[in-house]
Amino acid sequence: MTDACIFCKIIAGDIPATKIYEDNDVIVFNDIKPMAKTHFLIVPKEHIESLKSCEDAHQALLGKMLLLAPKLAAEQGLKGFKTLINTGREGGQEVFHIHVHVFGGGEPNS
Ligand code: AMP
Ligand code: ZN
């Protein structure tokens, strides 16, 4: 838990989010500014800044996050989807708590 981190605050229940999945390791919620009809974020409960901060010990957690993508996408009715992990400011990362974006279903307002 990092006080300044918005995703840690969501994990702690201090700010609301539309949760679609949660277990001991991971929380998944809809992106607040969706870039597709379905756009959710797979977020580990451990505060890890980015893919650059990951270590061998995170291998199982990263695998779990990726394997959740098709399961949750199917639950959301997606037949296919895109995944994205922005890494570092130069990589487009804005929230420095690692997360996997999952997008599908076409443009948000089409
Ligand atoms: P990134 O650029 O990969 O760090 O993406 C951060 C994502 O987090 C963006 O798509 C934001 O719209 C999303 N986001 C930021 N704050 C919230 C929030 N409070 N609830 C849900 N999604 C958020
Ligand atoms: Zn955090």
Q: Give, rounded to a whole angstrom, the gap between the first and last alpha carbons of the chain.
A: 38
Atom of ligand 1 nearest to the CA of 85: 3
Q: Check if 67 has its Cβ closer than 6 Å to any atom of ligand 1.
A: no
Report the C-alpha gap between 27 and 23 in whole angstroms. Answer: 7
- Coil, strand, or helix at residue 53? helix
pTM of the model: 0.97
Question: Which pLDDT tens digit goes with each residue over 28-53?
Answer: 999 999 999 999 999 999 999 999 99
- Is position 99 annotated as part of the catalytic site? yes
Instruction: Please count the CA atoms within 13 angstroms of the CA of 25 that sit on its side-chain side.
Output: 10
The DSSP element (H or E) to which 75 belongs, if any, is helix 59-75
The per-residue pLDDT for range 45-91, each reduced to its tens digit, is 999 999 999 999 999 999 999 999 999 999 999 999 999 999 999 99
Q: Where do the structural domains in the chain lie, given as residue ranges?
A: 6-104
Find all residues with CB under 8 Å of 14, minimum gap 6, and list them: none
Q: Provide the CATH number for the domain formed by 6-104 in this structure.
A: 3.30.428.10
